[in-house]
Amino acid sequence: MTAAPPVLFEMLRSFTTLASGLNLSQTANELGVTRQTVRRHIDALEAIRGRKLFEISDRQYALTPFGAQALTEAKTVLAKANSWLAGEAVTQDGLAHVAHNLDDGSSFHAQQHPLNAVWSFGVPLMQQGAQIWVSSQAQLEHRAMKKLRPYLVVYRKLRDDWLCVEIGEKSSYATWLGWTWAKSAIGSSLQDDAMHTPSDRFVIEAYNAVNQNGSIRYDHVHTQLPRKKGEALNPVSYQRLVLACLFPNGQPALATLLARTDRIKIEGLDTTRIPATPKANQMEFAI
């Protein structure tokens, strides 16, 4: 059984929306369709995949284990489709590129680079981060990682999201937002992250891909973020490594290493026309 692309898009919307609230009437109202349409979409998806996405007991919906796994994939497909249809995201040679404007007047530009670009264009903090990750064999508690840990933000997998469990006091997160706000973010999910923007659709996708591959990813980003809660947006550019790591018990972890710098290369972004990062705010140093 196959579905034409427009129908598949609506089917995935029904699935992800129902999975979010687990309420059929609410899902139908939110999507502007009938309850029968939502049920038909779910039935069709289950027939295509050959497995149940939901269990229903006393008219109450619950995701099956397969449904929970499929939800992450469905959200990724929808995010890619929405970005592509809006002309906001493309993939070139397997590397992601995102560029668009937000409703609040800010913009977001990001480009994934091949890892070997770290050695030719990465600032010292990025280069050392990559080297230490290799030396530590991706183990968070390895002695080689000790020097890098103050600069990392560490996440643990939480269903289809990532939960912040550690923020280094010297990390870009802490030194940009301030330690009080940064410390308060521990325990929050990535989607509720103060440094996360609605435009950064590729973030969770990127984290999931790095986690699944046990790999490392290198991005350049330019956007605008507040320095403190409620304050005006400030321009910020940075290089980022996303590192697949392991907790001592072997459970997967992700660590991000950000270095604020004007040394960014993003296709379509004229770096001569964006505000320079004050030297005091840059993180181009070696540790």
> What is the share, in percent, of the chain residues with pLDDT greater than 70?
86
Using one digit for the tens of pLDDT, what is the confidence trace for 59-98? 889 999 999 888 878 887 887 676 666 555 566 667 877 7
Highest mean pLDDT among 41-50, 126-135, 198-207, 270-279: 126-135
- Mean pLDDT, the chain, rounded, equals 86
Question: What pLDDT does 90 receive?
Answer: 61
* Averaged pLDDT, 123-148: 97
- Of the pLDDT bands very low, low, confident and very high (cuts 50, 70, 90), residue 51 is very high
**Domain 90-281 in CATH: superfamily?**
PAS domain (3.30.450.20)
Instruction: Answer with the residue of higher pLDDT: 76 or 266.
Output: 266
Quick check: 30 and 10 in contact, CB under 8 A?
no
* Averaged pLDDT, 214-221: 94
**Where are the domains positioned within the chain?**
5-85, 90-281
- The Cα 166–Cα 53 span in angstroms is 33
Instruction: Answer with the residue of higher pLDDT: 104 or 111.
Output: 111
> What is the share, in percent, of the chain residues with pLDDT greater than 90?
54
- Of the pLDDT bands very low, low, confident and very high (cuts 50, 70, 90), residue 1 is very low
Per CATH, the number for 5-85 is 1.10.10.10
Using one digit for the tens of pLDDT, what is the confidence trace for 22-34? 999 999 999 999 9
- The Cα 259–Cα 127 span in angstroms is 11
* Averaged pLDDT, 216-226: 91
